[in-house]
């Protein structure tokens, strides 16, 4: 099989027959010599908008492959590499009882799935509820502001990413093909097969919840178990090795193996572990979420307000301020909503969310400012406390609701009295406020400078009536749990994993880290 890159086709003419014709032309063969063809990658070329093309990378079986390869001296034509994911059990150490996975987010689920496939029969404990019950709890919170601190946008089956856009793009290098294994698993569990090849894959929160349920059922079918409403409240060691854990402040479970995949918002768990595990503070980012009409973003990216074929457009922007501080957009949600994603009483945090069709009238994205321990302190929990301070201020100025403000009023440091043409699309109640009261001056000035700079890249990005909402504070973990080359913490048998431990930054990278940790376990322990 050969891999052929740089196959360019107008989006209005993109179909499998035309792709085959372009491949045959590139290889200088008859189209009938193509036995089979599969798309490996698809990206968008909008440099000549509104004329837009797809750029394909394909794998195809053809007659006389060796001869064709020899006669086509091109870096875009080569043998299709083996990209299969493989794992072997080589460990010799015994597991007492069964491995325990703490957290049913992407990292925990993929660690559990891989272990279950190989006969380890893991037990997953999750402080939140199952997907069906969690949905009811979240919807009730959005309607009434009644918060369940253990089951919400941050906690529960599927993790924080379940109520998001389900974005799967990642910059993680992948020589062992874990990313492809994650995507294949998602497709097997119900995701659109297009995620296997599109440049910026996403699932959508409405589809992702079904995928997570199917993934969980596969783990159970393979001998795993999951317990909801079960929160890790203590760990016990002997000679610096895990011996048992406590859950819900009462029940003891014996084990010598834990995968700690608790997510970036398990602040009480971080405090419980503070004097037990070696941790360090790490940089993260905070800011606001900005909303624009989706037609404005489409016009900028595609040259037209609504494309008949392409999904609503996205963007990714970066800027360095005069004070050398980074400002960037994050978790952009085309056709999405801004959601109340709080998880602690009297504190307020937000996020963005899109359904699979990405068909609301608004685009929204976080606009973030990078901060480091120089800004919030060098204690391991200083970042957590910095987040809490911002979230408390957001809660107070919004009187418990999402505080929002027009960009013009934010720049002028005055409370917004009325909205403009941009319609507010929120999951959870909102109130007109002054977001300047949330942040220190250096963050406010960086956000204002950055948003104005982004207006030079996307016309209208800094429009007066763009709606800002605060506070976006859960972008990544504010600390890292140190692990060694075998991915073990300073306590033998305890494997920090995923985004909360500081080793991932989204659904895909967290899932990949779950696979990686499970592989490390299989290299040390037998089933």
Render pLDDT for 358-375 as a digit per residue (tens, 0 to 9).
999 999 999 999 999 999
331: pLDDT strictly greater than 90:
yes
pLDDT in tens, 40-76: 999 999 999 999 999 999 999 999 999 999 998 899 9
Given the DSSP bridges, would you call strands 318-320 and 362-371 parallel, antiparallel or unpaired?
Answer: unpaired
Give Cα 476 distance to the centre of its chain.
10
pLDDT of residue 117: 97
265 and 478 Cβ atoms separated by less than 8 Å = no
527: pLDDT strictly greater than 90:
no
pLDDT of residue 347: 98
231 and 247 Cβ atoms separated by less than 8 Å = yes
325 and 448 Cβ atoms separated by less than 8 Å = no
362 phi, psi to nearest 5 deg? -115, 150
pLDDT of residue 494: 98
Task: Give the global pTM.
Answer: 0.96
Q: How sure is the predictor about 165, in pLDDT bands with cuts at 50, 70 and 90? A: confident
Q: Which residue has the higher pLDDT, 44 or 165?
A: 44
Distance CA 272, CA 254 (A): 19
What's the whole-number mean pLDDT along residues 497-517? 97
Helix (H), strand (E) at residue 100: strand 100-102
Write the DSSP assignment of 450-478 as a string of letters. Answer: HHHHHTTTSTTTT-TTPEEEEEE--SS-S
Encoded tokens for 352: 């963005």
Q: How sure is the predictor about 273, in pLDDT bands with cuts at 50, 70 and 90? A: very high
- % of the chain residues with pLDDT over 90: 97
pLDDT in tens, 379-405: 999 999 999 999 999 999 999 999 999
Write the DSSP assignment of 354-418 as a string of letters. Answer: --TT--SSEEEEEEEEEE-HHHH-SSTTHHHHHHHHHHHHHHHHTTTSEEEEEHHHHHHT----S
Domains within the chain, CATH numbers bracketed: 2-79 (3.30.70.2700), 100-279+480-524 (3.50.50.60), 283-472 (no CATH)
pLDDT of residue 172: 86
465 and 419 Cβ atoms separated by less than 8 Å = yes
Q: Name the DSSP letter for residue 227.
A: E
């Amino acid at each position: 099989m050969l891999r052929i890159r740089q196959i360019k086709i107008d989006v209005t003419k993109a179909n499998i027959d035309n792709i085959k014709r372009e491949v045959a032309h590139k290889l200088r063969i008859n189209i009938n010599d193509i036995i089979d063809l599969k798309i490996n990658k698809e990206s968008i070329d909008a440099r000549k908008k509104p004329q837009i093309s797809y750029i394909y990378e394909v794998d195809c079986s053809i007659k006389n492959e060796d001869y064709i390869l020899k006669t086509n001296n091109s870096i875009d034509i080569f043998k299709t590499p083996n990209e299969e994911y493989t794992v072997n059990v080589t460990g010799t150490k015994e597991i007492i009882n069964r491995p325990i996975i703490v957290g049913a987010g992407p990292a925990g689920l993929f660690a559990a799935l891989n272990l279950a496939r190989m006969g380890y029969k893991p037990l997953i404990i999750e402080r939140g509820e199952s997907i069906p019950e969690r949905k009811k709890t979240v919807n009730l919170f959005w309607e009434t502001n009644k918060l369940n601190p253990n089951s919400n946008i941050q906690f529960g089956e599927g993790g924080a990413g379940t109520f998001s856009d389900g974005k799967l793009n990642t910059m993680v290098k992948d020589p062992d093909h874990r990313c492809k294994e994650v995507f294949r698993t998602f497709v097997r569990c119900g995701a659109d097969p297009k995620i296997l090849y599109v440049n910026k894959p996403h699932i959508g929160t409405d589809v992702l919840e079904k995928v997570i349920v199917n993934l969980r059922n596969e783990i159970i079918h393979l001998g795993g178990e999951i317990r909801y409403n079960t929160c890790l409240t203590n760990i016990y060691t002997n000679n610096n090795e895990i011996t048992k854990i406590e859950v819900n402040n009462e029940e003891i479970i014996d084990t010598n193996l834990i995968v700690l995949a608790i997510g970036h918002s398990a602040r009480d768990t971080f405090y419980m572990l503070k004097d037990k595990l070696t941790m360090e503070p790490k940089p993260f980012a905070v800011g606001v979420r900005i909303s624009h009409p989706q037609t404005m973003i489409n016009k900028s990216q595609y040259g037209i307000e609504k494309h008949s074929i392409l999904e609503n457009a996205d963007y990714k922007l970066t800027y360095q301020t005069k004070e050398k501080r980074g400002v960037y957009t994050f978790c952009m949600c085309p056709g999405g909503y801004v959601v109340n994603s709080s998880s602690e009483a009297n504190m307020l945090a937000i996020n963005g969310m899109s359904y699979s069709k990405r068909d609301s009238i608004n685009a929204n994205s976080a606009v973030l400012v990078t901060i480091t321990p120089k800004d919030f302190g060098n204690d391991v929990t200083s970042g957590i406390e910095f987040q809490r301070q911002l979230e408390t201020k957001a809660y107070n100025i919004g009187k418990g609701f999402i505080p929002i403000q027009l960009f013009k009023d934010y720049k002028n440091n005055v409370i917004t009295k009325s909205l403009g043409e941009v319609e507010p699309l929120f999951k959870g109640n909102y109130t007109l406020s002054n977001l300047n009261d949330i942040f220190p001056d250096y963050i406010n000035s960086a956000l204002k400078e950055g948003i104005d700079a982004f207006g030079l890249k996307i016309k209208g990005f800094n429009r007066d009536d763009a709606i800002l909402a605060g506070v976006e504070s859960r972008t990544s973990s504010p600390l890292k749990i140190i692990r060694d080359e075998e991915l073990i913490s300073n306590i033998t048998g305890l494997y920090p994993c995923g985004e909360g431990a500081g080793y991932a930054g989204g659904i895909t990278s967290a899932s990949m880290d779950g696979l990686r940790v499970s592989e490390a376990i299989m290299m040390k322990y037998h089933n």
